[in-house]
Amino acid sequence: GERLFEQVFPWALEESSVGMSTRSSKPLRLFSLPPAWGLPTWHPDCLKVQAYMRLAGVRFDNDQSTSAAMASYDTPVLVSGEETVLAGSDEIITFLKDEGHDLDATLGNQDKAEVFAFCSMVEGQLLTVMHYDWWMVDDNYYEVIRPIYTAGSSFPASMLLPWSMSRRMRARLGHPSAEDGEQLYKQAATCYKALDARLGAQPFFFGDAPSSLDAIVFAHLATHLYAPMPSPARLSALVQEHPNLCAFVERINSKYMNVSLGLFSRRAPEPTPTTAEEAAKKEKEEGKKERTPKEKARRRRARDFCAAGVVLTVGFV
């Protein structure tokens, strides 16, 4: 109970020095998207708020909602008491700071400027790369992102939500080409190097106590590292080039988020097939023609177009 809390969040108890209380005067209830990939939530904004609240030692109730239920809001949503409702991660963190839960309270002006610069890089450049990786790479979208958006949703939301999200994100990105995507991955590699250099051998980016930068970097790197994208899983591979960042993600996730990942354990090893199984599989696949990526994408988009047409037709009837 209280003793464990003191051991895990020692900085949260130093109210006189950091201007933060461990108890909120009103009960806090956070609505966020559900767990996935060994993380308490798969959405970076929801993970950002959860990480901030846990690192700040804020007690709250976490309600899991489906993508369809949260579609009308900027995720996540925080309810304080019976009156205050805040939507969106930045608004929630600003509210928490105003309530005395400010992870950056002890930082000097120069450090705060650094927090702003690195957060802008993560939520600007790295977020753009993640959106490209999620929504523009067809195998990633159809095998990982689309299923997670439809999970727990019934028809027609299970068809309309991923379709509308895909259209919106592709328009936001400006429909970049594959060459543009390669440039984005290079930008991501540069960002990871900068984060690795700033973190160094410290447990947190500014020493022994966490800041808002730790919550934001964790939220993004964790989704990059553990989203089970099909090979070659570009973002995960780039993060894995920096063991220091991988250890940072694992440390925060296992100690503060109540989930232990076990580094690089997101994919279960495939069982070794027997000779008979191999022969049967080979015989089954001999008559199959392997489709090219373009053919796969064409078939998938045609299926989505037909499904959207059915939904719209049903809506008019």
Confidence (pLDDT) at 25: 66
Q: What is the mean pLDDT of residues 115-135?
A: 97
What is the three-class DSSP state of 31?
strand
User: Which residue did the predictor score with more confidence, 294 or 51?
Assistant: 51
Residues 65, 34: Cα–Cα separation, whole Å: 6
Q: Measured in whole angstroms, how far is the alpha carbon of residue 236 from the centre of its chain?
A: 12
pLDDT tens column, 133-188: 999 999 999 999 999 888 877 777 777 888 888 899 999 999 999 999 999 999 99
Confidence (pLDDT) at 295: 56
User: Which residue did the predictor score with more confidence, 102 or 297?
Assistant: 102
Residue with tokens 């120069």: 110
Instruction: Describe the strand order of the beta sheet including 77-80 as a list of residue ranges.
Output: 61-64, 28-32, 77-80, 84-87
Confidence (pLDDT) at 269: 32
Whether 220 has a pLDDT exceeding 90, the answer reads yes
Read off the pLDDT band of 39 (50, 70, 90).
very high
Q: What is the mean pLDDT of residues 250-274?
A: 57
Q: What is the mean pLDDT of residues 26-35?
A: 91
Residues 113, 120: Cα–Cα separation, whole Å: 11
Q: What is the mean pLDDT of the chain?
A: 80
Exposure string for 130-169, b = 16+ CB within 10 A, e = fewer? bbbbbbbbeebbbebbbebbbebbeebbbbbbbbebbeeb
Residues 40, 58: Cα–Cα separation, whole Å: 16
Whether 296 has a pLDDT exceeding 70, the answer reads no
Confidence (pLDDT) at 22: 44
Which residues, 6 or more positions from 107, have their beta carbon under 8 angstroms from its beta carbon? 115, 206, 211
CA distances from 246 to 19, 54, 91, 126, 136 (A): 31, 19, 28, 16, 25
Residues 218, 129: Cα–Cα separation, whole Å: 16
User: Which residue did the predictor score with more confidence, 52 or 25?
Assistant: 52
Confidence (pLDDT) at 83: 80
Most confident of 58-67, 197-206, 286-295: 197-206
User: Is 212 in contact with 128 (CB distance < 8 Å)?
Assistant: no
Confidence (pLDDT) at 186: 98
Residues 9, 7: Cα–Cα separation, whole Å: 6
Identity at 232, one-letter amino acid code: P
According to the 3-state scheme, what is the secondary structure of 39-86? ECCCCHHHHHHHHHHHHCCCCCEEEECCCCCCCCCCCCEEEECCCEEE
Identity at 138, one-letter amino acid code: D
Confidence (pLDDT) at 75: 81
Strand 28-32 with 61-64, pairing: parallel
Neighbours of 177 (CB within 10 A): 10
Identity at 130, one-letter amino acid code: M
Read off the pLDDT band of 84 (50, 70, 90).
confident
Which residues, 6 or more positions from 1, have their beta carbon under 8 angstroms from its beta carbon? none
Q: Phi/psi of residue 61, each to 5°?
A: -95, 135
User: Is 263 in contact with 246 (CB distance < 8 Å)?
Assistant: yes
What six digits make up the tokens of 230?
Answer: 């099909």
